[in-house]
Every structure is written in structure tokens, then in C-alpha cells.
Structure 1
Amino acid sequence: MTVPVKLLGFSLWMLSLNFARCQECLQKDIKYENTEAVAKASYADGETVKVNCMTGYTGLYKLKCEKGKWKKSTERPCAKKKCSHPGDTPNGDFKLLEGTEFVFGATVVYTCKKGYEMASRSNQRTCRAQGWDNAVPVCEVVKCPAIRTDGDVTASGKTEDGSYGDTIHFECVSSDKIIDGSSDIQCEETGKWSDIVPKCKEITCIAPVISNGNVVEPKPKYQKDAILKYKCNKGFKESEDIPRCAKFGWTLNPECHEITCELKSTTFGVQEIKPKEKTIFRAGESVEITCSEKHWLFGTKESNRSFTCQSNGKWDYEPVCEEITCDDPLGQHVSGPYWGKLKLGVTQSFSCESGYREMGKVATCTRDGWIPKPLCTGPCIVTVEEMDKRGIEQRWKPN
């Protein structure tokens, strides 16, 4: 009896033990993301456990073991902790390496703007569990070396501590010299000056190539204030001013201008021009002008003639039509006051000086002047010899 009883007791104990184990909840069955492992491998029925999030995450789970299964009493899923703005740096920018939010694990990389360089040991910050690591990087302006010149050159600007964008201006001490190189250099983003420090050289000019002309007695070099002598080809003329060697080259560009004459008046009083529709003529070329009925060519009293452009750029005569007019009848014994200049066809009453009589009632302006001609006639004077010659007998004879 004793052995069977013991066997029965052992069997009941094993049965209760297996039943208890079937009611346990296991650690391996907790499978939430980004959580830390709980302390024990298994939990008895009715036990509760707090599941914490991994470092850098926020949230919480509370679980209870019920008949071998976990039941949630609190659930706040684990999410990455957020960081504040990482901070701007003057003269620089930053960007996220990945993602779009400032959360645990995110990294921002800083870069400096053009002309600035990173002065900090690290150029990035990472969002950690306690916030951003490292300090906000610092960008400093790029510096260029100090400027050193010889005694002939003066430099103005920040010659000792030039920074990106600064400009140094150079001039020669002597007014008889000119900068040989760049008169202005800039501090570049590389920390170097855009050009070397220049020297000074004597002011000289070289003979230019002149279109339609050539230099007279050319020289390899012309010193300051030297005059350039040149002449132009036929049909061209030199500029009125004389080129002189100066600091920035010749004071004027030695040019040969084509000699031309301009026909300025092409409509007033003009009947015909040959050739038509041409107003600019070269030296030696001619134009024929015919004036209209009531006009003649200036200063000629002609209606038609040719005009030639001369080598000095002037017409041989003025190619202009003007209205036909008659001047005051001076020397024709017409008594004043005079009439002034009157146009073709105008009539004017008049009277003659004492001892002269009018040849008509009015004077008329024509292309040939005033008519009738003459306007006034005087007494007839004949010598005795002429009368005798013609057989005219005098009624009165002097004693």
C-alpha cells in the first residue's frame, strides 16, 4: 500500500507542476519593436510586467500574464525621441543626411558659404537620447596673405588682413609710369589673391594700324607725350586733333575719315537731281541740280548746273536752290524809300529822281531784274560836234 500511495502522490505533483507551467507567460513571446528585454524568462499566471523602450525612444507597455498569454493593460508604442532645431550657423547652411525630421539618430551636416571655411573640428551634429551632440559649427571668412609692394607701387585697401571679397588697388608713385599688370586684385574663396602684385613700367605707346592710312616715320615705341604723325590715303582725311601718347594709350584713335560732301537741300525749290536719292558724295563725284520755275541756284542766277565735291570735303559752289528775287534798284535814279528784296512777279509803283522820268507806271520783278529797263530815263544830251556830224541845225548858238 505504501508504494502505490507514493506513486499516486508523485503523479499528482507532476500533474500540478505541468499545469502550473502551462499557465506561465514567456519573455520570448513579448515582440514589440524597439523595446528592452524584460528581467525574467517567464512569468506566472497573474503576474504583471513593465516593458520599457530602448534608449532614444519614448513609450511604454504594461502586460499581465493570463493563463499563459500576455494581455496589454497599457500601450504606448515606442517612437524615436525628437530633438529641437540643431541651430543655424552664420555664413553657413546645414542639411539632414536622411529623413525629414530631427529625431533620435538623425544627423545634420554643416557647410560654409562661398568665401568662408569651417573653423570647428566637426562639421556635423547627431540627435542623441539627451539632445544634439557637439556644438554648432563655426564658419570663418577666408583670409588672404598680406600684400607687399616695392617702392614704385602704392597699395590701398586691407593690405595686412585681406578677407574674401576685399579689393586691393595699386597705383604708381611716379606720374610718368603705369601699372604693369592688374591695377585691382581680389581676395578669392581659395584664400589667394586673383593676381600677383604688379610692378610699374614707363609709359609708352606703339604705332597703331590705321585703316586707309599709315604712320609717318614709325617708331618701335613712343614715349609719354610723343605725337603720332600719320597721313591718309587719297579720298580720306585725318582727324582734326593730334594723337598724343598718354597714360592709357593714345589720347585719340588715329582715324582716316572718308572725304564726303552732303547734299542737304533736296526738296526746296528743286525740280530734279541727278543722280536721284543720293545725298552723300565722295571727293571728285558730282551732282546736277535743276531748280523749279520760280527758283535759281544760290549766288548764280542759273537754273541748272553741276556741283563737284572737292578734296577738302566742300562743294565747289553751294548746291542750293533759292527763290528768285529782285534787289533794290540802286543806281537807277529811283527816288526812295527803297522796297527791299521782292519775289519774282511782284510789281511795285515808283517815281524817279528830279530830272528823270518814269518809263512805266509800275516796276515788275523778273528773272532778268526790274522791268521796264531802264526804270527812269534822263534828258537827252548831244554835243555840237555830234549835231553837225548828223546835219542838225541849232536854233540857238552861243555868242
Structure 2
Amino acid sequence: MSVYKFCILLLCHWFCFAQENGCDLPVVENGKIAQYYYVFKKFYFPMKEGKKLSLSCAAGYSTQSGKQEEQITCKGVAWEPASLCFKKCIKPSLNHGNVHNPKDSYKFLERAHYSCLEGYVTVSGNQTEEVQCLANGWSSQPECHQISDGCEAPRLYNGHYTTTKRAFHVKEILQYQCDEGYGTPSGRTADETECLLRGWSSVPQCTKQSCKELQPVQNGGFYPVKAMYVDRDVVQFFCTEGYILRDSELIQCYSFGWYPEPPSCEEKSNKCPPPPRPAHIILLTDPAVHRNGDSARYECDYNYMLIGSEEIYCENGRWTAPPSCVELKEKLKCAPPPYVENGEVMLQAEVYYSGDRVNFQCAEGYEIQGSSEIICKMGKWPEPPKCKAKSDFCQIPPPLTNGELIDLPSLSYKNSESVEYRCKSYHLMEGPKTVNCTHGKWTELPTCLEPCTVSVDLMRQRNLELKWSFEMDTYFLHGDMIEFVCKDDLDMSEHPEGLKGMCQRGNIRYPTCSRKDKLNACGPPPLVKNGRVLAPQENYESGSSAVYMCSEHHFLNGSNTVQCSDGDWDHPPTCIEPCVLSKEEMERNQIRLRWSFDNKDYFYHGEYIEFLCIDGHENTSPTIMFSLRAQCSDGQIKYPKCVLRAR
């Protein structure tokens, strides 16, 4: 084989391998990606070459390029740039010293130099020092300490010293212990500090520990490994070769502790294949691979009788013996369907046989509890549903755009119960943070008002420059005023009080520096179906902009901001209608919702809905991945279809 052919085969092998493997779920410390990527990890990952993810750093952290949010791209089997968030380093505030060539903030790996006044020294005891911005902040906190021949023990909260002595000579050691639930800066319960010429080597302090220490994982491990974990820290677990994780791969630290519980590692040999499926038998449990100790339940097709145990178990990688189904010679008759108080059977028959099914409906003012359909099996009806008076319970609280619930949600809430929301970093909350359950409905959600960043392109179009250059990468809160100046040789006479733009929900209303030849103004912005303009005006100067907002549940497609340019408006966005779930279509296609949280009034454009076949029916396209998964598109849902299972 020629060298050329060998190289081609090698490259092909590498490319195919990369395509097959793709990029795994990135581990983001001090940041996050959208939560649904964690929930549906098996669907999204490994992600294909060229796919992008939006990485968002926590408040006070930024990517290596200094941004709060950045897109990372799958290149082969790795993400580029790396999914890392670094602590921002702000300009040191020095007493008794000076920073050389100071900046308002420093990016990862940038350096700063500072010097101390006479009679004061740096952290290392020198007159001048260089510090570097590292992943967790400055390599050493820039400080100037007065030269002294002794130290005084500072006041210690949530802990105590091991001695009553309060004055210490240079080189003496002070030991201290933290109270239960609190820890030292290094994550221990006790620590010590040394008296130096510049003061204490480290300031004694005890801070609250948010989450308990993670125990070592037998036959596995986790990362990142830290002495102390605080609220919102995420930890990823892994197992050594020959072992697999049992339970969630990712856990998160909350104010109440870890959720979910840390997983464990078990031998692969303990895994069982999908449960056996003898003829005329119906598997009632999830057919996915099971682990040691798990069980699978069966029942027979109609007019077949179960012989053996209806439940089998996974034991050391093998299933116990499954039951069999024997055909009955005659159809078994069933008694009339059971009575349901405040309900009735729809479309009654004179005689019922095994395999027949009936549907119940409740009287007005009542709602069904349990499945509305029951099936007669082996001549007997199962327990029917119940009709209960409509309650005041609320379902899972609705999601908040640019915000989240402070605590994990419950499946239902009683009347007058409440939940509390918070907004993302740099987002201002408008409205009450507490939302109440009132007679089955949640009170109005607050609004998280988006921050703004300046656009170089928009400033260029309006002949503007920032008055303060250090604000270029700054986040401006809703309502903040940003100061601008005109570029050279441009008319500023129309703005005697200075050029200012206001941040309004993520958009800056930029002023304009006029040229000598006045440009045409615009009338009202174009109308958008199911949308409106925020703070509309009759006339807009050239260079000014208007912001659109869609009606509730509608999806905004395109930019929410349009600009007036010499009398003409940019092309406006569209507001795409939501989808309404049709119970009639679901019944017609013999399907039901897979997840209870999908039982809601509206689905946004682009949202997915998952379904299951009702009992006794099967998917018409079992080989197609996610064939029982539909997407809301332009207000329409294309429902999947199930048919009666062949006997």
C-alpha cells in the first residue's frame, strides 16, 4: 500500500472517529449552560462537529476573553474555546500605596504592578510587587501593611481562638477553631496564622459551609475536587473502567444541600439486557437496560392467561424466568363497568368482553383523577377513576424568562402557598419576587429586565463614541444612562446637555450626532401581528430605534430592535403563534402525554412535546428515533400516531 493511500485511510479513520464520538457535555465551573442540556443529556450528547453552545459565567466571572457570555464550538472531541469561567480581577483599592497604570478590570493572566508608601510593605514584605489575575482572582491580594513588631488578634465571628492571648510578637502562631457548619478559607474546621512584620499571614475568619463534604466514591471519583462547595456549584461524577454510574452523573449544591444525592459506581457485569418478551406478552416497565435488583412487570394480551410470576428480577446480569401466556378458547364476559360517583361511562355497550375498554367523564364542576380509560382483563374491570370537585391546587410554577426559582419546585401547591423567584446576574426585577397560588392559578410573574452592552456598529452608524472608554465591555442595568461624545467634525449643537442613551430592557436608545445635511425622519414603526412597540412615538429621527414585544406565549423571530435610516425602517421581526394541545387529536391518534408537566395550555414555537401510546397500542414507526416526539412549529403540532397492537 502506498504512503498516500495509507495517509488517506488514517485521515478517514480519524475523521470518522471524531464524527462518531463528538463532544461530551462540558463541565463548567463558576458558570453554566442551559439546564435542559443536563436533563436531556443522552439526547444532545455527544454533540456533532461544528455545533455551538452558549456558555454563561456566574456574576463576578468571565471567559478568558473577558466576556460574561460566549459561544463554544465542538471541534473534533473537544470544545473551543475551553468551557472555563475565570474570576474577574478588579482594580486594587490600595490604602498607603499606588497601582501603576491602573485599569478598571483585568482579564485572566493580565498583570498589575503596585508599590507601597514609606513605612509600609507588600504582602510578601517588599516595597513593590507584581500580581497576576488567575482563575480565582489575584495571585495574592494587593495590600500595603504597616511595618510593625507585633500583631493583635482580630475579632473572630462564628469561631474561637485556642488562647485568650490577644497580643503577639513577630513569628508567633495564632490557632483558631470554627463553629459547627462553618469553615476556614482553606475549607477546614481549624487553622492557624503567623504574625509577620506586615501583619498576619492570613486573616482568621470562619464562613458558612453551604454543602457538606463529598465522600470518596468507591471505584470512581468526581471533579472539581474542592475543600468547600458553595451555592450553585456543580460536580460531575465518573467511574473507573469496568464500572458504571448508578443515578445522576451531575449533582448541584443548593442552600439546602446537594441535589440529587451523590451516585455510586457498580460493576458492569451486574447490568441486565432489555427484559425478555415472550409471545403475546406485554411489558409494563421501561425496556431500557436494568441494573442488579431492578424488576420488570408483565401482563398478557387480551384473551390470554398469564402462567407464572407477573414480575421478574435482574440478578447478577441475568433475568429470572419470565412468565408465559396461554390462549383462552372462549372470550370471557365482563360485568357492566363499575359505578363512578359524579361521573358516567361514555358510549355504553350491552355486553362487554375481555379486552373491551370504556372511557369515563365527570359531571360539570368535577375533574377526573386517574386514567379516564379502563380495560377489562380476564373478565374483571380494574379500579375506575374518581371524579373529585375541582380543587384550588396549582401545578408546577411557570418558568421566568431570565430568572429562576430560588428553591426546587413541588409537583403541586395548595391555595395561598407561594414561591420566590430571582433574576439572573445583571437583570433587574420588576414586580414582586413572590408569586402566590390563588384558586388554582398563579399570580402574575415578575419581569427580569435585561441589561445592555454597547454596540460598536450602532455607535458607528450614529457617529458616536463612548465618553469613558473603559465602559466598552461593561454591563449597564435597565434604566442606566450611558454617556457618549460625537466623532470629530460633527454637529453636537442639538445636545447642549450632553449625549446620553438609556438602557431599556436590553436595548440602548442611542442619540445621534447630525451631519450638516439633515437626514429624513421616520413615522410610526411597521405594525407586527401579535406584537407591539414599546413606548411608541409619532416621529423618529434618523438613527433612532424602536423596540418590539410579542403578545404572551408568542415567539419573537428576528431582532426585537429596528432602526430608522433616512426615512426608512429596518425589516421588523415576526411574532410566531404558540401551539394549543388538542385532546381530540391525541385521542384520534391513540396517544397520551409522556410527562405530566407538559399538560399545559400553550407551547412556544420550537418547543418539543413527548407522547406515549395508550395501552394496547404501538408506534407505527418503531425504528425512527423520537418518533413519538412532536415539535410546535408556527402554531401547529404534527401529532404522532399509534395503532392497535397486532395479536
TM-score (norm 1): 0.32
Higher relative contact order by CA 8 Å / sep ≥ 6: 1 or 2? 1
Q: Which has the larger radius of gyration?
A: 1
